[in-house]
Structures are given as structure tokens and as C-alpha cells.
Amino acid sequence: MALTETRPQAAGAASRPDGGAPERTQVTAVEKVLGTGDHKTIGRIFIGASLLFVMSDLVMAALVNLQASAGGDFLEATIANRLSLNHPLGLLLCGALPLMLGLAIYLVPLQVGSPTIAFPRAAAASLWGWLLGTVLFVVALLIKGSYGGSSETMTRLGHVSVGLVVLSLLTGVLTVMVTVVSHRPAGMTLSRVPFFSFSMLVTGALWLSTLPVLLADITLWQIRRPGPSDFEFGAYPAIEWVFHQPAIYIAAIPLLGIFADVCGSLSGQRQRNYTVIQSLIVAFGALSFGPWAQGDAARETLMWIVAAVAIALPVIAVLGGSIDTLRRGKLAVNGGLILTLSSILVLLLAVVAGALQGLATIGNKDQLFDLFAGGFTTLTPSTPSSGPGVAVGQFYLVIAAVVLGGLGATFHWGSRIWKGGLPSGAALALAPLGLLGGLAFGIGHVVIGIAQPDADGAKALAAVSGVGAIVLAVAVLGGLGAVVAVAAGKSNETSDPATGPEALGGTFEWLTASPPATGNFTIDLPTVESEYPVLDRNDQGAN
């Protein structure tokens, strides 16, 4: 129910006793959206807006990399510097994290069998706060502000808007966590929570322990009352740790849950060793705890090296376990599966790049092998102390993985999000495009960091990254186009109900209508006696 809607008992008292014009009792569509506390509307707006911002941030990333490939002749230097500093913030805080949060706000109540999200007004505040913060961030960036800007007011505005975005994301993930913990029906113990919801619980724990530290850094620099150059050379380096491992992996934790759930619901099979997969998700989350590794010194410790290498293991194990589930069932390949599989493969590449960074620091006097990590301060290959490197490539790969995973989840659960679902053909076409773009986006920088080519080679590889960003942006645009077409009623293609997740899915969201009605569930939910209550019900029906 929209929070602005008139209560049913008040509807009869609409006409005034003095004979004046009757009070307006009907809420308009805009009022419904602005005042909504429905997690489905909030989730849809989060997903759509974050895809839009991801796309524009990818264009920014492409411009920055094309600038690097052109040797600094493509854009004006000050603009290039601003874009270079701010595009990772945009990609992470305005794109990747809210995309995962939007999916969670939409899907988690459905997965745990709840008619609503916990604290719906807080979820709505999270959406509008994030949207306002993101718009302010973009406005500040456009008017010579945000990090690297020349206008003091606009630079400060950009800085504050990042704080608002972080605060809003924290509010949103809190509602998701409480939904998982306290809205579960009887019988659904934590060890029976669907993988995506469980991964969001782990994600929430990590966001709650990581993002407040980022917020503290932002607050402190706001209190210092710095000038524009201080924001660039003081505040920005203070928050840059969140783009590097291990902290960057907090964006990718839900991908493990998404992939495990997609494989389960497409194969109709139960995941073997369910709690082991859950434990692996927890392990991935624990290894992505990053506030302790803010300084350069921390990145040369044994703990950092171990975390950088060990984090590959949960990804490989979840991939293996989920593919085993898929293999045991009747394989029905769809676009959602290909996209989510692509996201895990890109994530795997990111953790390999991270492991290489960790291993490179081992050695007696010098490093085991030379490797250039790089940073976002100036993405120009000729800059020896900064520029493209493995860490930058790893960041791009993680972002690409999240974007592909988000798109995959949007298509896989499309029939629960939009009426009839998204066209599966579009997902199959977008998957190779997205995978190719995502790989190129990150690999260019990883190769620069490992091979350390001459200036011409570095320029060529930066161009590869730039083109990759454009290709990935096109894939996102395709996904957005599919969403808009379905929302406008131009497409009514549905997945095959006999072989799709609608028939084979074992978790509660597959018991809802397409899209779910108000209150989500129109039937009595079966008692939860295993991780897959819908499969249990089907099995009992068959017997």
C-alpha cells in the first residue's frame, strides 16, 4: 500500500458536511510512487536507476581510458582528471552497490515468504536518499566540482553527496538484513534461507562494517574544511581504499548467492551440501573485510597476502558446487544463466588478479615478481607513480562482474519483477556482449600492470579497456531497453513455464504471480521443512 493512500475507513468521509467540494481521495500515479512503501516498487526503481547510472559511469570510464590511450589529447586535462577521480565512485556507489541492493529489496521478502520488507519507510528513505545523493554528485561533477574540481562549493557538494549515498545504502541494506533475520516463516532456519537472501545477510554485515568507515573518512575531511586541492590530494586518497582489495569484494558477495540460486532453480535440483555453500559465502564475505587495509603498509602484510590469495577458493568452490547442481538436472540454458555464469567467471578473473597482487609482494628484499598495482589518481600511462595497473583492472573486473550478475538476476527473476518477464532472447544476445565488454574493460589494465609495456603498448591496452567499457555500457543499455519495452507493454515474451525456473524453482518467490500481487502471496505458504519448500510441496503433490 502506498503510504500516501487514504485508509479504507476514511474513504467514506470524503464529501465535506458544509457542502464544499469533496476532498480528493484518489492518489495519482506519481504520488503512489513517491509515497510508496512497497518493496517491489522501491526495488524496481533502484534496479532501473542503478542500471542507468552504471551505464553513464561506464561512459565516463570509457572517456577516461580513451584519454589515456590518446596520450592526454582526447579531453581537456582538468575534465579528464575529474572524470578519472570520480568514475570509480560513480561505478561503485551509484551503480554496483545499489544494483545489488535494489535486487535484494525486491527479491528477499519474496524469497523468505514475507508480504513486506522490514521498515518499509526506511527502505523508501534509502531509495530517495540515494537518488538525491547520486543526482547531487552528478550535478557537482558537471559544475566543476567533486574530487579534482576547481569550485570549492561544488567540490564540497560532491564530497557531501558521497556521504549521503553511503548513508542511504546503509539504511537500505539494514532493512534487507532485518527482513532475512526476522521475517522468516517458522521452519526456515538460517541454514535454510535461500542463497541470495543469505548472501545479502552476509553482504549487509560487511557493508555495515565497511561503509561506516568510509563515512567516517568523509566526515573527517568535511570537518577539516579543506579547499579544492585538499579534496583531491587529501580526502580522495583517504577514501581510495574502498576501490581496492579486499574492500572492493563487498560489491561481489551477492553474486555467489545469485549464481547458486539460478543454478538451483533452473535445474530443479537441490544443492548438495547446502550449508557448505553458505559457509563459503560467509568465508568470501569475511575475506572481503577491508577497513584494516587502508594504508600502503597494510597491503604488504602477511594477512593481506593470505586474504588476497585465499578469497579465490570460495569463488571456485561455489562455482563448482553450483555447476554440479546444474549438471544433475535437466539443463535448460537461458540468458539469465549465461549472464550470471559470465559474472562469476569475470569475478574469478578479478580474484586471480588480486592473488597476483598478493603474491607479488612476497620476497626477501624485493618482491617475488614485479607488478604495477596502479591507482585512479591519474589514468595516464606515462605517469610512473600512478596510472593504470592491476588494481585498477581488478576494480573494473569486479564492477563488470556485478553488472553482469545484476543483469543476469534481472532476467532470471524477470517474470517475478515484470509482468510476463523479460525476453529471454535479449538476455542470450546480451550475455556474450557483456562478457566480452567486461573482460576487455578490466584485462587491459591488468596486462599493463603485469607486462608493464612501453608507452605505446600501454596506450593500446588502455584503449582496449575503453572499448570494453563502451561494449559493457551497450549491454546494459540493451538490458534497460528490454525492461522499458516490457514496462511499456511492447514485449510479452515469457519463458517456457515447463522448463523455466517458474516450474523448477524451489524457493518461495516462484509461488508468486507475475508480478506478485499486493502482499506478495495469494496462497498459503507450505510449511518449511527443508531448503526447498516448493520442491517439497511438488514432491508431496506427486506422491
Whole-angstrom distance, CA of residue 98 vs CA of residue 448: 30
Decide: is 182 part of the binding site for another protein (CB under 8 A).
yes
**By CB under 8 A, is residue 215 in contact with another protein?**
yes
Nearer to another protein, 144 or 184 (CB): 184
| DSSP one-letter code for 18 | T
Of 131-139, 223-231, 301-309, 381-389, which segment contacts another protein by CB under 8 A? Answer: 223-231
Taking CB under 8 A as the rule, does residue 183 contact another protein? yes
User: Strand, helix or coil at 393?
Assistant: helix
Q: Comparing C-alpha atoms, which of 210, 208, 215, 206 is closest to residue 235?
A: 215
Residues in contact with another protein, total (CB under 8 A)? Answer: 27
161 neighbors 137 (Cβ within 8 angstroms): yes
- Per DSSP, the three-state class of 50 is helix
Segment lying near another protein (by CB under 8 A), choices 81-89, 181-189, 338-346, 439-447: 181-189
Residue 123 binding another protein, by CB under 8 A: no
- Total number of residues shown for the chain: 543
Q: How far apart are CA 196 and CA 203, in angstroms?
A: 10
State the minimum distance, in angstroms, from the CB of residue 175 to another protein.
8
Out of 105, 127, 131, 170, the only residue in the binding site for another protein (CB under 8 A) is 170
Amino acid at 132: L
Question: Segment near another protein (CB under 8 A), from 61-69, 220-228, 391-399, 485-493?
Answer: 220-228
Which residue has cell 498459503? 524
Smallest distance, Å, CB 524 to another protein?
Answer: 16
Q: Which of 71, 72, 212, 481 binds another protein (CB under 8 A)?
A: 212
The least CB distance from residue 533 to another protein, in Å, is 19
Q: Is 220 in the site for another protein (CB under 8 A)?
A: yes
Dist. CA 370–CA 89, nearest whole Å = 28
In whole angstroms, the minimum distance from the beta carbon of 111 to another protein comes to 16
User: Of the ranges 33-41, 208-216, 309-317, 518-526, which one interacts with another protein (CB under 8 A)?
Assistant: 208-216
Closest distance between another protein and the C-beta of residue 507, in Å?
Answer: 20
Using CB under 8 A as the binding rule, whether residue 16 contacts another protein is answered as: no
Q: Locate cell 523468505: which residue?
A: 112
For residue 517, the cross-strand partners are 520
CA-CA distances (angstroms) from residue 195 to 198, 285, 321, 361, 472?
A: 5, 14, 13, 35, 27
**Binding residue for another protein (CB under 8 A) from 54, 58, 127, 213?**
213
> Of 77, 216, 276, 487, which one interacts with another protein (CB under 8 A)?
216
- Min dist CB 77 to another protein, Å, is 31
- Determine, following the binding rule CB under 8 A, whether residue 11 of this chain makes contact with another protein: no
Under rule CB under 8 A, residue 289 binds another protein: no
N-terminal to C-terminal alpha carbon distance within the chain: 39
Binding region for another protein (CB under 8 A) out of 59-67, 139-147, 168-176, 322-330: 168-176
**Distance between CA atoms of 3 and 217, rounded to whole angstroms?**
35
Please state, in angstroms and as integers, the Cα–Cα distance from residue 98 to each residue in 83, 129, 136, 165, following that order.
20, 12, 16, 9
**Could you say whether residue 204 binds another protein (CB under 8 A)?**
yes
**Closest Cα partner for 96 from 472, 467, 481, 487?**
472
Window contacting another protein (CB under 8 A); options: 13-21, 75-83, 177-185, 505-513: 177-185
Stretch that binds another protein, among 203-211, 343-351, 412-420, 477-485 (CB under 8 A): 203-211
Report the C-alpha gap between 205 and 130 in whole angstroms: 19
What does the CA dihedral 70, 71, 72, 73 come to, rounded to 10 degrees?
-50
State which residue, 172 or 434, has the beta carbon closest to another protein: 172
204 or 449: CB nearest another protein? 204
* Near another protein in 224-243, by CB under 8 A: 224-225
Please state the φ and ψ torsions of residue 22, each to the nearest 5 degrees: -65, 145
Within the chain, how many helices (H) and strands (E) appear? 20, 0
Q: Which of 38, 217, 240, 509 binds another protein (CB under 8 A)?
A: 217
Residues whose CB falls within 8 Å of the CB of residue 115, separated by 6 or more in sequence, listed in order: 109, 519, 520, 521
Q: Which residues bind another protein (CB under 8 A)?
A: 118-119, 170, 174-175, 177-178, 181-183, 204-205, 208-213, 215-217, 219-220, 223-225, 291
